[in-house]
Structure 1
């Protein structure tokens, strides 16, 4: 086998392995890019224009690589779902960068006491990343929301999968409810998974303290698992390249 053919086979193999690992490498890149991001609380609540559900899609690799790791994000609250181990900062409005770090409110000017709070987040195929575990939620689970300097508890009343054009879930029903929305799968899709929750009460101080402790534990647990995942993916990717290339070279020399 000539040297030119050998190099061509190696190149084809490397491209094939890279494409195979691409979804996992993107997840690892998101974890790496966002793990040291600075998030500070902010009391600023700004209005935002309505974002169509079809506009909220998983980011591509170029968006992930362009993420500014040194940027400071301003959160207006947080969302904690102990049952499925979700703990994320909540941002006022929705931008691509914010959705790589936490969840965003579609109508940040709404109030939780008597309106529909709509929260969007990414489902990127990794359970411990962003809204990855939201699809595991069940009726009756508790959702805790820190929003506009207040703390609220919701009970899940409904889960459903809808088309991205079914915008009635965004409507302000003048009732105290929470609507969580994510993609039904970690690829470009026309469907959305929706969780509806009804306001139960504003938890007492001791409950809030317990949830805040759980929030820190969930965040640290997910971070540890994600860091291990990054290392595993990188090792497997490099090992596949080295081993495969070595096999091609040995075979080509026979």
Structure 2
């Protein structure tokens, strides 16, 4: 009888965990992206981080699981933070981390090339599209032409105006290549059920000024 009771309790606990798993994942991801911001660092630290080598392994990127959010580092790595991105029109405010890795993508937006600089050429950033519309890069799907995107390295703040949004196939790697014109390119999955599609936001640089908290 006792064994049956134990098994019954375990079954109930397992069911509770399975039901609550998605909510747990979203809460943990939200904590990761809000724990560390660029503003908690110094301009000197940001510059130092930007000079460090990083990984850009697009092939190994996977949607974060509940286990990932629990086992992986529970906050953005300060050694990877190189800036902050804000899009007020969709309430997006995330740290920018150098290197496209599963760990970095669970904490914010990530750079997509080794040598990319705010305000110079094309500045591509990637982020996860989750099933919760306010988490990580999910708000990017609501960005419209004319919206303003702000990125900062704590020395300068760069203002970009959105010129285009489009859905493309994942093989359009040309969109993250460098350009002569100062642009920004935001990349995220378009549909969680079809991982071959990407939602792209393109913006052109409108203004650069000294950063002030």
Which TM bucket (shorter chain)? Answer: 0.7 to 0.9
Is the 1:40–1:72 contact (alpha carbons within 8 Å) kept by the matching residues of 2? no
Q: What's the counterpart of residue 43 of structure 1?
A: 47
Q: Cα deviations across residues 73-95 of structure 1 (Å, max 9, x unaligned)?
A: 13221111111111111122233
Greater strand content: 2
Match of 2:106 among 86, 100, 103: 100
| Equivalent residue, structure 2, for 1:61 | 66
1:110 aligns with 2:149: no
Highest relative contact order (Cα 8 Å, sep 6+), 1 or 2?
Answer: 1
For residues 118-137 of structure 1, the aligned pairs below 5 Å read: 118-137=124-143
Runs of 5+ unmatched residues, structure 1: 213-254
TM-score of the superposed pair, with normalisation by structure 1: 0.67
Partner of 1:28: 27
Query: Where do 5+ consecutive residues of structure 2 fail to align?
Result: none
Listed one character per residue, the Cα deviations across residues 205-247 of structure 1 (whole Å, up to 9, x for unaligned) are 6xx65xx5xxxxxxxxxxxxxxxxxxxxxxxxxxxxxxxxxxx
Q: 1:57–1:183: 8 Å Cα contact kept in structure 2?
A: no
Q: 1:90 to 1:34 in 2, by over 3 A?
A: closer
1:68 deviates by 2.8
- Once residues 121 and 59 of structure 1 are traced to their aligned partners in structure 2, the CA distance between those partners, rounded to angstroms, is 12
Q: Distance in 1 between matches of 2:208 and 2:75?
A: 35
CA distance in 1, matches of 2:76, 2:88: 28
Alpha-carbon distance in structure 2 between the residues aligned to 1:33 and 1:171:
29
Structure 2 counterparts to residues 158-177 of structure 1, below 5 A: 158-177=164-183
Largest Rg, 1 or 2: 1
Across the aligned residues of Structure 1 and Structure 2, the Cα RMSD in angstroms comes to 3.0
Higher helix fraction (1 or 2): 1
1:110-163 per-position Cα deviation (integer Å, ceiling 9, x unaligned): 234441111111222223322121111101101111148332111111111222
